[in-house]
């Protein structure tokens, strides 16, 4: 799967559907694929399963092993869908960060409809376990592979589930789970200082679900503000598919142009993290909680 001489700078993209990239419509300066930037994709399958009592749940499986391909937009030539990791990658390369002899590998682990509330991204959950496996495979492939950042976008699931929760309890639960995920990913990557960037939800949807979405956003922002290696990106003025296309009713997903802008915002946050003074005392306190986790899943 990996060529023995491939040396990668590795970006992890994880979360739910906006991390997959569901943006449609026109986009200025679309991404042009290059063999310098590759996807390592999880190849998930997701479907709604009905229970005997009428309840439904999302089933996520991985029927095929992850594969490597040249990074490119999804969809069809007539209807491409954006991905914020692509514009992040373009900024990364244009800024001179990819050194000669190296490539950029994007671990694609986002799965729509998933979060912490139903266990998908908790340690031992199906999505977290697949991500952990992919990280280990990248580490095993070459000791010169370097993990550069975790780009996280998630929260719609955890704002939607558990409607009886108070905003305060929702915020505390999300903060606990997200903080633990960050520490565990850093431990798996072998980088306690791994930059972690997350962004706000699509405002077109979040503003209609304000209290729950605000609780998730506050938790995400607060977790990433406690140490030098995290950053929260605002999603203000980024349009949804519905706002970009009057024929669409999709208000939860950023449109294609917005995803390109979002990737640039993620990269600006990444640069800001790297410019800060690194202090060991400011590393994530949860790293100690993950230090005993197995390195292989």
Say whether pTM exceeds 0.85: yes
Residue 3 placed within a domain: no
pLDDT at residue 290 in the model: 53
pLDDT at residue 77 in the model: 86
Residue 296 placed within a domain: no
DSSP string, the chain: ---TT--EEEEEEEESHHHH----S--SS-----TTEEEEE---EEEEEE-TTS-EEEEEE--S--EEEE---EEETTEEE--HHHHHHHHHHHTT-S-TT-EEEEEE---TT--STTSTTSTTSHHHHHHHHHHHHHHHH-TT-EEEEEEEE--HHHHHS-TTS-HHHHHHHHHHHHHHHHHHHHHHHT-TT--EEEEPPPHHHHGGGHHHHHHHHHHHHHHHHSSTTEEEE--TTPPBHHHH-TT----SSB-HHHHHHHHHHHHHHHHHHHHSPP-GGGS-TTHHHHTTS-S--
Q: Locate 128 and state its tokens.
A: 């977290």
Taking every pair of C-alpha atoms in the chain, what is the biggest distance, in angstroms?
Answer: 58
3-state secondary structure 201-226: CCHHHHHHHHHHHHHHHHHHHHHHHC
Residue 140 placed within a domain: yes
Residue 221 placed within a domain: yes
Name the domain count of the chain: 1
The pLDDT tens digits for 81-92 are 999 999 999 999
106 versus 279: the higher-pLDDT residue is: 106
- Nearest partner of 254 among 157, 170, 156, judged by Cα: 156
State how far the Cα of 105 lies from the Cα of 134, in Å rounded to an integer: 12
- Nearest partner of 285 among 236, 223, 239, judged by Cα: 223
The pLDDT tens digits for 58-104 are 999 999 999 999 999 998 888 999 999 999 999 999 999 999 999 99
pLDDT at residue 281 in the model: 40
The CATH number of the domain where 158 resides is what?
Answer: 3.40.50.1110
Please, what is the average pLDDT of the chain?
A: 92
The pLDDT tens digits for 198-230 are 999 999 999 999 999 999 999 999 999 997 899
pLDDT at residue 279 in the model: 46
Residue 297 placed within a domain: no
What is the extent of the structural domain holding 120?
8-290
Q: pLDDT band at 144, cuts 50/70/90?
A: very high
Residue 169 placed within a domain: yes
């Amino acid at each position: 799967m990996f060529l023995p001489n491939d040396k990668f700078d590795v970006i992890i993209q994880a979360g739910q559907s906006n991390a997959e990239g569901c943006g449609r419509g026109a986009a200025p300066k679309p991404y042009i694929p290059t063999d310098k930037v590759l996807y390592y994709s999880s190849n998930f399958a997701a479907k709604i399963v009905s229970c005997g009592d009428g309840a439904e749940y999302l089933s996520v499986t991985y029927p095929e092993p992850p594969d490597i391909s040249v990074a490119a937009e999804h969809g069809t030539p007539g209807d491409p869908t954006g991905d914020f990791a692509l514009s992040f990658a373009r900024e990364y390369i244009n800024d001179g960060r990819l050194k000669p002899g190296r490539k950029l590998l994007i671990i694609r682990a986002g799965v729509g409809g998933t979060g912490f509330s139903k266990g998908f991204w908790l340690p031992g959950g199906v999505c977290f376990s697949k991500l952990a496996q992919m990280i280990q495979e990248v580490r095993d492939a070459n000791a010169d592979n370097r993990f550069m950042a975790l780009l996280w976008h998630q929260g719609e699931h955890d704002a939607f589930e558990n409607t009886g929760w108070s905003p305060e309890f929702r915020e505390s639960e999300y903060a606990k789970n997200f903080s633990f995920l960050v520490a565990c990913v850093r431990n798996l990557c072998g980088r306690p200082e791994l930059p972690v960037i997350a962004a706000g939800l699509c405002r077109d949807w979040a503003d209609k679900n304000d209290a729950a979405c605000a609780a998730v956003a506050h938790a995400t922002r607060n977790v990433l503000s406690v140490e030098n290696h995290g950053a929260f990106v605002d999603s203000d003025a980024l349009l949804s598919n519905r706002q970009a296309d009057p024929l669409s009713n999709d208000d939860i997903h950023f449109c294609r142009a917005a995803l390109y802008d979002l990737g640039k915002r993620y990269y600006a946050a990444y640069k800001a993290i790297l410019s800060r003074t690194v202090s060991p005392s400011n590393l994530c306190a949860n790293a100690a909680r993950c230090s005993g986790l197995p390195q292989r899943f």
